[in-house]
Structure 1
Amino acid sequence: MTQATIPVIDDISILYSEPKLAGARARWASLAHDFEQLYGRVPDFIARSPGRVNLIGEHIDYAGFGVLPMAIEDDCLIAVAIDNTGIDSTVKIANTNSAKYPTLKFVPKPAAQGYVDIDPQAHVWTNYFAAGYRGVLEDLQIEKPKGMLCLMSGTVPAGAGLSSSSAFVCCSVNAALRAQESLLPAGKTPTAHELAIISIRSERYVGTMGGGMDQACSILAKPNSACFIEFHPVLKVTPVAFPTTIPPIAFVIADTLVTSDKAVTAPVRYNLRVVETRGAARILALALGIPIPASGKLHLKQVLDAHFDKIGYTPAAGKTEAEIDIEKLTEMVQVVERVFGTDEIKNGVTFEKLCELSQLSGDEFTRLYIQQPIRAERFHLYRRAKHVFGEEKRVVEFRDTCEKAEAKKQSAETVFSLLGGLMDASQESCHELFDCSCDQLEELTKLARRSGAYGSRLTGAGWGGASVSLVPEDKVPAFIATMKKEYYNKHHPELSEEELDNVVFASAPSSGAATFVGRV
């Protein structure tokens, strides 16, 4: 576990690639100017947390498995001035787009009352700030918080699957910590790793049962690398450098412009998938003779680990860690076929049947597995479990390819084809097994492949949002031009060239959260 805290910087050039630096400087300067105009004083600091694009590993973080996202250069910024008088604890959060996003002003309640009211059914933008603020104060047990004047600016496209909401929560956590840090005992400032965990907990206040990938990447990402993020038995983030190729690897993000709002659709999509995968984990454990934990809860990664412990698995001599993982995951797909392979289960089961298979009453199942609202007539255990194990196998293979390509002296064509093939297989599984694609994503990913991408898949939960495509760097301009012509001009002819540049773009791997102090 890293002991580093969120970095404090006085130069934003380390956050952005050269092509985007000038625009970023102008935006930061505009935020500082707008803050001074609004509040009559300069900000004490600016908190920053980026969005992310998940390269591979969709809907498996909450099943306990590792994922492979990278932070992007689009981000959330919150400029903050602190009230150091100890008299006024009022919090005010405004948005640079005030016409669309109204200001919230509140005086924090006592700790026993949760500091600030958050209604998950009221889908307002300030819920995400309130969630991060509340999460920090609760975790650090701050009784009399300092007042905060805040102004937020965000460039992560909302509803595009690039984690705009989590970037906002993480930035709010970062901002709240910095503002209240002087109230903490010496040496008690949370590490970046601990802040990622606080951010994961905090976002659940807005009604989303996330697994933690978005927050871990936004807080802990390192420049020029993807993040291999593991969740079981503890949160662990390992930088994964991309192999050096000629031409270099590039990733192009394309927004379908179909909004996927997790807070609105969670009961029939995101939260439902969490319940299906955890129900599947319990039933697989029962079928394999694995003891259920005293808590009654477990996820699919725990089932895998317990199964191979139970059978006394010993890998063949000389096998690499990746080869061992691939062997285990391949067997678990076969286990899914054996346990869930009947027509009745393949077609989805009712809630009553789900409880019967789980050996629980309806009330017991609800208490253990349904912490957030869901709506469903049938639960798809077979398809969800098969996707999870297969998708983690692809994550392992993607990381292994990145880490070993240069040692194997693989050509750029070989590397692109291997990684792209895994991305395509992921998209097929998301569409066929996890039911999280949509017509626009199918159209966009197929067009990407025809336009020169080696692989293309949805990213960020799906049901709309964005795709990510692997494209040789020297082909990016032509690729983007084709995507604009064949998808956006066809479906969204009203978009200006500037607007198009904000919905289809390449992004360099960015660093994670930071706190800027000084003059912009």
Structure 2
Amino acid sequence: MTPSTIPLIHDISVLYSGHKIACARTRWADLLAQFECLYGRRPDYIARSPGRVNLIGEHIDYAGFGVLPMAIEDDCLIAVATTDAPQAEVRLSNLNPKYESAIFHPNLKGHQPVIDINPENHVWSNYFAAGYRGLIEELKIESPNGMLCLMSGAVPTGAGLSSSSALVCCAVNATVKAQEMKLKAAGKPMPSAHELAVISIRSERYVGTMGGGMDQACSILSKPKSALFIEFHPVLKVTPVTFPSTRPSIAFVIANTLVTSDKAVTAPVRYNLRVVETRGAARILARELGIPIPDSGKVHLKQVFDAYFETSDCSTEGKSEAELEIEKLKEMGNIVERILGTDEIRSGISFTKMCAMAGLSEDEFTRLYIQQPIQAKVFHLYRRAKHVYSEERRVVQFRDICEKALHRKDLVSETLFLQLGELMNASQDSCHNLYDCSCEELEELTALA
């Protein structure tokens, strides 16, 4: 086994901190017992994928920019036994009785989806089906083994910790292990962890969300005792970010407002709408700046950023890479102010106006940028673009502060805490004021921190 593959663990104590191990052992034992009770046999293995918390870099992954999350101990578990069931039948149940069981009979004839998924039918099993379908189709497994599956979820749903992505990733991991012998028989290697992350990112879009990939990459590629700087353009790349030693040790408090938000259910008026707004802003900025549009017709804000500074003079003398990036992002904020901050655009524009400014007909814009349904009368391009470029600046600053602190002998812990805290507070302010992705309860909770 190489370091790039999904690790095989024989002792769960390496997965959880000391005070959680006892509860984790009970949960795993219960999953094993309930599996045997349900299916009359023991599982062959248990797949696991953790949730995540995003430290900084909110809603900028689908704009192509880097983010800085870290995995958490709360996770999704799927116990699996492979079978020789006809038609590669997949049986799926959940330890939580409120979630209905499901049976899938994959379509193996080709030219059709392996499993039909209705994005408008918001059932939990869609997320498993998405991961299963994505893996089977990507690896072109023609006659997959059947699977008996039982899930146990410990990531709170709708709480911003990526319970849905943890399930998709866990389904991908569970499925690839179930098909290991099929892959070997076909002379195909087991995919790397990086490849499974990419498959998971693509797979979750089957449920109707236009995600950027942070959640899946973090769940599959995170390393112990570090955050993860994740880049998406031009390719997926991850870099562990280690926190400096401080007194007291640095700690991040994860609190739950108890306000739930189902990403798939609210996507037309929230998540997917924000994606379209950032893409509309990128298209208009590219036109105004004379930046060529890719042959695909699609462009996101990171591509605009890269293309603009390929041809623009920017002094690099005496500046670190981070300092130069911060300077460029500040300039992009000024450009957004100049182009999208006019009285005509600042408070929002109609769909017709957005398409006209993008140089597209309404049908062309819809075909290029609206893969999933959205609902809006007004599109806030200025606020979304302003958030994206300022948020990426905070990500760069956050990472730079951590990396510099690792090498400082005169580090003052309180100063570090204040610097990182100020960036996180600014991120929350931007989410509230520019991105409309906060709520009253969250504002109150962060004010108490």
Instruction: Report the alpha carbon displacement of residue 314 of structure 1 after superposing the two structures with TM.
Output: 4.7
Aligned Cα root-mean-square deviation (Å): 1.2
Q: Is the Cα–Cα contact under 8 Å of residues 76 and 154 in structure 1 kept in the other structure?
A: yes
Instruction: Report the alpha carbon displacement of residue 77 of structure 1 after superposing the two structures with TM.
Output: 0.1
Once residues 442 and 289 of structure 2 are traced to their aligned partners in structure 1, the CA distance between those partners, rounded to angstroms, is 37
Instruction: Report the alpha carbon displacement of residue 313 of structure 1 after superposing the two structures with TM.
Output: 3.5
Specify the alignment match of 2:392 in structure 1.
392
Once residues 315 and 125 of structure 2 are traced to their aligned partners in structure 1, the CA distance between those partners, rounded to angstroms, is 51
Provide the secondary structure at the position in 1 that maps to 2:151. Answer: strand
Instruction: Report the alpha carbon displacement of residue 88 of structure 1 after superposing the two structures with TM.
Output: 5.7
Once residues 3 and 363 of structure 1 are traced to their aligned partners in structure 2, the CA distance between those partners, rounded to angstroms, is 47
Specify the alignment match of 1:175 in structure 2.
174
Q: Is the Cα–Cα contact under 8 Å of residues 4 and 191 in structure 1 kept in the other structure?
A: yes
For 1:353-395, what per-residue CA distance to the aligned partner results, in whole angstroms no more than 9, with x for missing partners?
1011101100010011101100101111111001000000000
Specify the alignment match of 1:25 in structure 2.
25
Q: Tell me which of 87, 96, 100 is aligned to 1:102.
A: 100
For 1:295-344, what per-residue CA distance to the aligned partner results, in whole angstroms no more than 9, with x for missing partners?
1111111111100111244512x321111110110110011011112111
For 1:147-197, what per-residue CA distance to the aligned partner results, in whole angstroms no more than 9, with x for missing partners?
100000000000000000000000000001000111113452110000000
Once residues 49 and 186 of structure 1 are traced to their aligned partners in structure 2, the CA distance between those partners, rounded to angstroms, is 27
Residue type of the alignment partner of 1:389: Y
Provide the secondary structure at the position in 1 that maps to 2:66. Answer: coil
Specify the alignment match of 1:70 in structure 2.
70
Once residues 47 and 340 of structure 2 are traced to their aligned partners in structure 1, the CA distance between those partners, rounded to angstroms, is 47
Q: Is the Cα–Cα contact under 8 Å of residues 243 and 406 in structure 2 kept in the other structure?
A: no
Matching of residues 473-488 of structure 1 within 5 Å: none
Specify the alignment match of 2:241 in structure 1.
240
Residue type of the alignment partner of 1:196: A
Specify the alignment match of 2:327 in structure 1.
327
Specify the alignment match of 1:348 in structure 2.
348
Q: Is the Cα–Cα contact under 8 Å of residues 228 and 239 in structure 1 kept in the other structure?
A: yes
Residue type of the alignment partner of 1:331: E
Matching of residues 383-462 of structure 1 within 5 Å: 383-408=383-408, 409-448=410-449
Matching of residues 255-404 of structure 1 within 5 Å: 255-316=256-317, 318-404=318-404
Q: Is the Cα–Cα contact under 8 Å of residues 86 and 146 in structure 1 kept in the other structure?
A: yes
Residue type of the alignment partner of 2:233: H
Once residues 76 and 68 of structure 1 are traced to their aligned partners in structure 2, the CA distance between those partners, rounded to angstroms, is 21
Specify the alignment match of 1:451 in structure 2.
none
For 1:416-460, what per-residue CA distance to the aligned partner results, in whole angstroms no more than 9, with x for missing partners?
000000000001111111111111111111122xxxxxxxxxxxx
Once residues 234 and 265 of structure 1 are traced to their aligned partners in structure 2, the CA distance between those partners, rounded to angstroms, is 29
Provide the secondary structure at the position in 1 that maps to 2:442. Answer: helix
Specify the alignment match of 2:79 in structure 1.
79
For 1:236-282, what per-residue CA distance to the aligned partner results, in whole angstroms no more than 9, with x for missing partners?
01000111101001111111111100111000100000000011011
Instruction: Report the alpha carbon displacement of residue 113 of structure 1 after superposing the two structures with TM.
Output: 2.4
Specify the alignment match of 1:199 in structure 2.
200
Q: Is the Cα–Cα contact under 8 Å of residues 3 and 193 in structure 1 kept in the other structure?
A: no
Once residues 371 and 87 of structure 2 are traced to their aligned partners in structure 1, the CA distance between those partners, rounded to angstroms, is 36
Once residues 413 and 290 of structure 1 are traced to their aligned partners in structure 2, the CA distance between those partners, rounded to angstroms, is 44
Once residues 444 and 169 of structure 1 are traced to their aligned partners in structure 2, the CA distance between those partners, rounded to angstroms, is 30
Give TM-score scaled by structure 1 length: 0.84
Once residues 73 and 223 of structure 1 are traced to their aligned partners in structure 2, the CA distance between those partners, rounded to angstroms, is 10
Once residues 315 and 425 of structure 2 are traced to their aligned partners in structure 1, the CA distance between those partners, rounded to angstroms, is 32
For 1:465-512, what per-residue CA distance to the aligned partner results, in whole angstroms no more than 9, with x for missing partners?
xxxxxxxxxxxxxxxxxxxxxxxxxxxxxxxxxxxxxxxxxxxxxxxx
Q: Is the Cα–Cα contact under 8 Å of residues 276 and 381 in structure 1 kept in the other structure?
A: yes
Residue type of the alignment partner of 1:157: P
Residue type of the alignment partner of 1:166: S
| Percent of residue pairs identical | 69
Residue type of the alignment partner of 1:103: S
For 1:108-130, what per-residue CA distance to the aligned partner results, in whole angstroms no more than 9, with x for missing partners?
11233212221110000100000
Once residues 295 and 188 of structure 2 are traced to their aligned partners in structure 1, the CA distance between those partners, rounded to angstroms, is 36
Residue type of the alignment partner of 2:46: I
Once residues 8 and 127 of structure 1 are traced to their aligned partners in structure 2, the CA distance between those partners, rounded to angstroms, is 26
Specify the alignment match of 1:159 in structure 2.
158
Instruction: Report the alpha carbon displacement of residue 347 of structure 1 after superposing the two structures with TM.
Output: 0.7
Q: Per chain length, whose mean CA-contact separation is higher, i.e. which structure has more relative contact order (CA < 8 Å, sep 6+)?
A: 1
Once residues 366 and 188 of structure 2 are traced to their aligned partners in structure 1, the CA distance between those partners, rounded to angstroms, is 41
Q: Is the Cα–Cα contact under 8 Å of residues 87 and 106 in structure 2 kept in the other structure?
A: no
Q: Is the Cα–Cα contact under 8 Å of residues 207 and 263 in structure 1 kept in the other structure?
A: yes
Give TM-score scaled by structure 2 length: 0.97
The reply on whether 1:226 has 2:227 as its aligned counterpart is: yes
Cα 1:261–1:86 change in 2 (3 A) is: closer
Cα 1:339–1:403 change in 2 (3 A) is: same
Q: Is the Cα–Cα contact under 8 Å of residues 166 and 203 in structure 1 kept in the other structure?
A: yes
Once residues 104 and 348 of structure 2 are traced to their aligned partners in structure 1, the CA distance between those partners, rounded to angstroms, is 46
Cα 1:88–1:337 change in 2 (3 A) is: closer
Q: Is the Cα–Cα contact under 8 Å of residues 96 and 153 in structure 1 kept in the other structure?
A: yes
Once residues 238 and 186 of structure 1 are traced to their aligned partners in structure 2, the CA distance between those partners, rounded to angstroms, is 31
Provide the secondary structure at the position in 2 that maps to 1:71. Answer: strand
Segments of 5+ residues of structure 2 without an aligned counterpart are none
Instruction: Report the alpha carbon displacement of residue 87 of structure 1 after superposing the two structures with TM.
Output: 4.6
Segments of 5+ residues of structure 1 without an aligned counterpart are 449-520
Instruction: Report the alpha carbon displacement of residue 48 of structure 1 after superposing the two structures with TM.
Output: 0.1
Specify the alignment match of 1:461 in structure 2.
none
Residue type of the alignment partner of 1:139: E
* Number of equivalences: 444
Specify the alignment match of 1:213 in structure 2.
214
Once residues 9 and 239 of structure 2 are traced to their aligned partners in structure 1, the CA distance between those partners, rounded to angstroms, is 22
Once residues 344 and 87 of structure 2 are traced to their aligned partners in structure 1, the CA distance between those partners, rounded to angstroms, is 62
Once residues 228 and 367 of structure 1 are traced to their aligned partners in structure 2, the CA distance between those partners, rounded to angstroms, is 32
Once residues 298 and 244 of structure 1 are traced to their aligned partners in structure 2, the CA distance between those partners, rounded to angstroms, is 41
Cα 1:86–1:152 change in 2 (3 A) is: closer
Instruction: Report the alpha carbon displacement of residue 22 of structure 1 after superposing the two structures with TM.
Output: 1.2
Specify the alignment match of 1:467 in structure 2.
none
Instruction: Report the alpha carbon displacement of residue 3 of structure 1 after superposing the two structures with TM.
Output: 6.9
Cα 1:190–1:390 change in 2 (3 A) is: same
